[in-house]
Amino acid sequence: MVNIDPGQTLGQLVVENPGLAAAMEKLGFDYCCGGQIPLNDAVADAGLNLEEVLNEFEKVSHTDDGLDWSNMSIDQLIDNILALHHEYLHGELPRLCALADKVASVHGSNHPELLDVARLTYEIHNDMEPHMQKEETMLFPLAKQIAAADSMPALPFGTFANPIRMMCQEHETTGDLLIEIRKTTSDYKLPMDACASYTALYQGLEAMEKDTHLHIHRENNILFPATLAKEEELTQATKIS
């Protein structure tokens, strides 16, 4: 059981209660890119009953994967994001692209939306691969450098907030693509003539969507704020000294 404060933001609620992510997914609440929206506003915008939503949320278990993300160090956050999310996407996105091509070629004449599904799957791949590369080669190493520093290191782009702002904008682009592919698949609803590959594609895309929402949430609402807080701490210490 968890206690829910409806004035808290969606992102903070999932930080404190990771199990809420799945419940928010079902309601269509954007806790990653839209994580700064208070729960009561999200409920009102969706035309839902706040008391009913709170009752459902309060039944949710505290944990999802057994990891306490809210209390990890910056290094631990980065290592787990790389191991659990980046490694997964590096392998899964090419697989989904190949599967989308196969399913569209076989079923596209009867289900022309599959051509759009294939296009969108490639767009997600082409959007996320360079994004992750920038994080792996530039952003994350600098975040680890800040985490280990006793005084604020000189950064090539001024404050760390500048690349974070860019990363968050790219996260929004990814979120928009995920919304579009969910609409195109009618919420991953399979037709009567769906074969095993068709089923595997839709199941894989939905699993990728859920993982990416958690991935973005953990960067936007946990890792980035922690790194900015450390940067502020080092900046203030430098001024005092």
Percent of the chain having pLDDT more than 70?
95
3 state SS of 38? strand
* Better-scored residue on pLDDT, 81 or 58: 81
Q: What is the pLDDT of residue 65?
A: 62
Residue 216 in contact with residue 33, Cβ under 8 Å? yes
> What angle is formed at CA 223 by the lines to CA 220 and CA 161, rounded to 5 degrees?
70
Residues 6+ away with beta carbon under 8 Å from 219: 81, 135, 167, 171
Beta partners for 171? none
Q: What is the pLDDT of residue 193?
A: 93
Q: What is the pLDDT of residue 2?
A: 64
The sign of the dihedral angle between the CA atoms of 214, 219, 223, 226 is negative
- The pLDDT confidence band at residue 239, using thresholds 50, 70 and 90, is low
Dump pLDDT digits (tens) for 153-176: 777 778 888 999 999 999 999 999
Q: What is the pLDDT of residue 79?
A: 96
Beta partners for 9? 38
Residues 6+ away with beta carbon under 8 Å from 135: 86, 167, 219
In the predicted structure, residue 201 carries a pLDDT above the cut 90: yes
Residue 161 in contact with residue 229, Cβ under 8 Å? no
Integer CA distances (angstroms), 10 to 32, 162, 230, in order: 8, 24, 23
Q: What is the pLDDT of residue 155?
A: 76
- The pLDDT confidence band at residue 61, using thresholds 50, 70 and 90, is low
Q: How far apart are the first and last CA of the chain?
A: 47
Maximum C-alpha span of the chain: 70
pTM to 2 decimal places: 0.83
In the predicted structure, residue 112 carries a pLDDT above the cut 70: yes
In the predicted structure, residue 241 carries a pLDDT above the cut 70: no
Sequence ranges of the domains in the chain: 10-57, 72-240
Q: What is the pLDDT of residue 238?
A: 66
Q: HSE of 226 in the Cβ direction (CA atoms, 13 Å)?
A: 23
In the predicted structure, residue 44 carries a pLDDT above the cut 70: yes
